[in-house]
Amino acid sequence: MDPLPQGVGWMEVVTGCMFSGKTSELIRRVQRARYARQSVVVFKPRIDDRYTEDSVGSHSGQTLRSIQIDHAGQIPGLVADAQVVAVDEAHFLGMELVAIVENLANEGRRVIVAGLDMDYRGVPFEPIPQLLAVSEYITKNLAICMVCGNPADRSQRLVDRSGRFLVGAAESYEARCRKHWSAEVATDLQTSLPLGRNLAEDP
């Protein structure tokens, strides 16, 4: 990352597919801010209850205490005097989030947002594309394709469930490259990499 601005707020977006290390990167940045003795507040949508209710959690086992919210409109009333505001799993919070985090950055805060850039169908996942357009810093992580081991940028759904929102981890999704990804649910496909490889986030 380039040298950070001084005396001004800004936005950072960390994006990519499932198992690409988005949450791990958000946690790393938040921890560094705390080492610098900056006040930090972390939010996650209540719908994401995979690991723990009161913490942001990565697939690799890292956790960070957070505030659960039902919708993005709750954020302004909960940030208090935080210098750094972090939001994980932002794709669950809808377009309302864009104006809210822009306002926080305009107030002089550092805002860190992490979320999926595409859903399981390969369709851009709002509000991440819109956040990318207005952010000063963008990081797109790649995972490892569970079929061939190449860089992966797509999330393959493995369970036969309809609907855009399906909270899950290795039992529901795999990271896939463009060649081995399909918009259809891959219930009949077998992975060729060792079981558990998709549990470890890309370094």
Taking phi over 0 as left and psi of -120 to 50 as alpha, with beta for the rest, 108 belongs to left
Backbone φ and ψ of 60, nearest 5°: -90, 0
Alpha carbon distance 119, 164 (integer Å): 7
Give the chain's radius of gyration (CA, Å).
Answer: 17
Backbone φ and ψ of 5, nearest 5°: -65, 160
Classify strands 10-16 and 55-57 as parallel, antiparallel or unpaired: unpaired
Catalytic site includes residue 96: no
Alpha carbon distance 23, 10 (integer Å): 19
In the structure encoding, which two tokens stand for residue 112, read together? 């860190």
Residue tagged active-site, from 89, 102, 107, 171? 89
Alpha carbon distance 2, 137 (integer Å): 9
- What is the set of active-site residues? 89
